[in-house]
Amino acid sequence: MYTLNLKQMTQQEFLDEYWQKKPVVIRQGFKDFVDPIAADELAGLAMEEQIESRLVHKTDGQWQAAFGPFESYEHLGTQDWSLVVQALDNFSEEAAEIIEAFRFLPHWRLDDLMASFAMPGGSVGPHMDNYDTFICQGSGKRHWRVGDNGQHIEFAAHEALLHVEPFEAIIDVELETGDILYIPPGFPHEGISLDTSMSFSVGFRANSAVSVLSAFADHLIDNEKGNKLLTDANRQVVSHSGEVTNEDYASIKNQIQRLLDDEASFKTFTGQFLTAAKHDLDTLLPDEPFELTEVSNLLNSHAIKRLGGLRAFYFEDTIEQGLCYINGTELAFSNDIANGVKLLCDKVMLKPDDLSAWSHNAAFVELATELLNQGYWYLAEAE
Ligand code: SIN
Ligand code: CO
């Protein structure tokens, strides 16, 4: 278990002072931190097809980047390269534990856990992110510089590397194992490994209006909605045929507005959009489907754990109506199990004691059976 120690600050004080506002170093945010995954295991993962990974190195002073899967690392030598693996939470239960320390933020804001291994001198170069990132230093040390936000010129140092022009540092530190560097979006930064090192970045990303609108358009197309043509059966003769009247403009705009104002439909879209998997899930289906009677007993003897990277949310005002969203799908359930469903969405692991009110409830057991059979939740030792 990773326990976040914000020193003199409460979590709310951290949010008030730093979240989305300014970067900060939290020395020994994780006391006695141990890498949840070894460097060679990480390198092995980056050899797999479904893992998103990237190698960044410098050859003759030129930045180079390549995307995985990789076959070997031998040609890279022993310095000036780094390997980055995205969505490690989908593939390593131990690494996913780091995210648990950040549950004081809502899970819908979470993007993924990224791991980076670097040789001495290794770096991905100076850049800016669209993410709020908590860079948790694992083994080894890294030198980090962070600049202020504002106008910074970005350029392609390589076709796959967007870098930023040199910046003045407002933070200039050496991070040691267990230290955490929080960086909000838009602050340029650069980390250079001082020895062989690992770091684990918990990234939070909000969506831009254009990405939501584009996904909403796809949702409308998939559901054959919003395709009614504008009607104007009461059209009056015009004397200025080049004019778009205020009334016509309003009805064009209203065509879009009506889709956004359809609260139930927009909520379904939002729930599906927020829970859609951003990276491949490592779903493991049970050999034999579970039976209802069996599951009721299993919930008394085992913990159930949510698949790493699976997104499951509910809306504050519709959970009681029996609606939740899991992995891009809207799920309806009997509203008397709303509090049980909240537990499934709020907590990654549920032990028999957590579910004592639900393990004999037929509707809850039915839902749990379905989720176990889909491989979205799995059985774990109750400990
Ligand atoms: C890294 O850890 O190598 C890069 C992390 C970051 O700058 O976001
Ligand atoms: Co970054």
Q: Are residues 50 and 121 in the same domain?
A: yes
Q: Are residues 22 and 147 in the same domain?
A: yes
Shortest-distance atom of ligand 1 to CA 189: 7
Shortest-distance atom of ligand 1 to CA 129: 8
Q: Are residues 180 and 79 in the same domain?
A: yes
Q: Which ligand is nearest to the CA of 193?
A: 1
Evaluate whether residue 373 is within a structural domain: yes
Q: Which residue has the higher pLDDT, 234 or 284?
A: 234
Q: Average pLDDT for residues 194-205, to the nearest whole number? A: 97
Evaluate whether residue 189 is within a structural domain: yes
136 close to 201: Cβ distance less than 8 angstroms? yes
* 9-21: pLDDT as tens digits: 999 999 999 999 9
Shortest-distance atom of ligand 1 to CA 199: 2
CA of 190 from ligand 1 middle (Å) equals: 7
Is a pLDDT exceeding 80 seen at residue 383? no
Q: Are residues 34 and 62 in the same domain?
A: yes
The token pair at 62 is 């030129």
354 close to 343: Cβ distance less than 8 angstroms? yes
* 291-323: pLDDT as tens digits: 999 999 999 999 999 999 999 999 999 999 999
Residues of the domain holding 217: 209-234+243-261
Nearest to 1 by CA among 32, 45, 25: 32
Query: In sequence order, what are the residues at sequence separation of 6 or more whose Cβ sits closer than 8 angstroms to the Cβ of residue 142?
Result: 118, 174, 175, 191, 192, 193, 194, 197, 199
Nearest to 83 by CA among 100, 71, 66, 97: 66
85 close to 114: Cβ distance less than 8 angstroms? yes
Is a pLDDT exceeding 80 seen at residue 169? yes
Shortest-distance atom of ligand 1 to CA 124: 3
358 close to 340: Cβ distance less than 8 angstroms? yes
Q: What distance in Å separates the CA atoms of residue 242 and residue 162, rounded to the nearest whole number? A: 45
Q: Are residues 219 and 167 in the same domain?
A: no
Is residue 191 within 6 Å of ligand 1 at its C-beta? yes
Is residue 53 within 6 Å of ligand 1 at its C-beta? no
Evaluate whether residue 269 is within a structural domain: no
* 96-117: pLDDT as tens digits: 999 999 999 999 999 999 999 9
Q: Are residues 56 and 68 in the same domain?
A: yes
**Mutation probe of ligand 1 site: the residue of 35, 54, 84 with most atoms within 8 A of C-beta:** 84
124 close to 56: Cβ distance less than 8 angstroms? yes
Q: Are residues 53 and 175 in the same domain?
A: yes
CA of 189 from ligand 2 middle (Å) equals: 6
Q: Are residues 182 and 34 in the same domain?
A: yes
Q: Are residues 199 and 213 in the same domain?
A: no
17 close to 115: Cβ distance less than 8 angstroms? no
* Sign, Cα dihedral of 23, 29, 35, 36: negative
Q: How confident is the model at residue 173 (pLDDT cuts 50, 70, 90)?
A: very high
* 44-87: pLDDT as tens digits: 999 999 999 999 999 888 999 999 999 999 999 999 999 999 99
Q: What distance in Å separates the CA atoms of residue 83 and residue 67, rounded to the nearest whole number? A: 10
Q: How confident is the model at residue 382 (pLDDT cuts 50, 70, 90)?
A: confident
Q: Are residues 195 and 213 in the same domain?
A: no
Evaluate whether residue 249 is within a structural domain: yes
**Mutation probe of ligand 1 site: the residue of 80, 111, 119, 124 with most atoms within 8 A of C-beta:** 124
The pLDDT value given to residue 235: 96
Is residue 137 within 6 Å of ligand 1 at its C-beta? no
Evaluate whether residue 335 is within a structural domain: yes
Count of domains observed in the chain: 3
CA of 190 from ligand 2 middle (Å) equals: 7
Q: Which residue has the tokens 């267990």?
A: 178
CA of 127 from ligand 2 middle (Å) equals: 6
Evaluate whether residue 62 is within a structural domain: yes
Q: Are residues 139 and 54 in the same domain?
A: yes
- What are the strands of the beta sheet with 132-137, ordered from one edge? 24-26, 180-183, 132-137, 197-204, 110-118, 81-85, 53-59, 62-67
CA of 106 from ligand 1 middle (Å) equals: 22
Q: Average pLDDT for residues 227-240, to the nearest whole number? A: 95
* 334-354: pLDDT as tens digits: 999 999 999 999 999 999 999
Q: How confident is the model at residue 381 (pLDDT cuts 50, 70, 90)?
A: confident
Is residue 185 within 6 Å of ligand 1 at its C-beta? no
CA of 304 from ligand 2 middle (Å) equals: 34
Is residue 189 within 6 Å of ligand 1 at its C-beta? yes
CA of 124 from ligand 2 middle (Å) equals: 8
| Protein residue whose Cα sits closest to atom 1 of ligand 1 | 116
Q: Are residues 43 and 170 in the same domain?
A: yes
Q: What distance in Å separates the CA atoms of residue 23 and residue 29, rounded to the nearest whole number? A: 14
CATH number at residue 160: 2.60.120.650
The pLDDT value given to residue 284: 85
Evaluate whether residue 346 is within a structural domain: yes
- Tell the burial category of 240 from Cβ atoms under 10 Å away from its Cβ (0-12, 13-18, 19+): exposed
Q: What distance in Å separates the CA atoms of residue 20 and residue 207, rounded to the nearest whole number? A: 14
Long-range contacts from 264-268, C-beta under 8 angstroms, 24+ separation: 265/225, 266/216, 267/315, 267/318, 268/330
* 133-153: pLDDT as tens digits: 999 999 999 999 999 999 999
Q: Average pLDDT for residues 355-368, to the nearest whole number? A: 97
Evaluate whether residue 315 is within a structural domain: yes
Q: Which ligand is nearest to the CA of 113?
A: 1
Is residue 270 within 6 Å of ligand 1 at its C-beta? no
CATH number at residue 366: 3.40.366.30
Q: Which ligand is nearest to the CA of 116?
A: 1
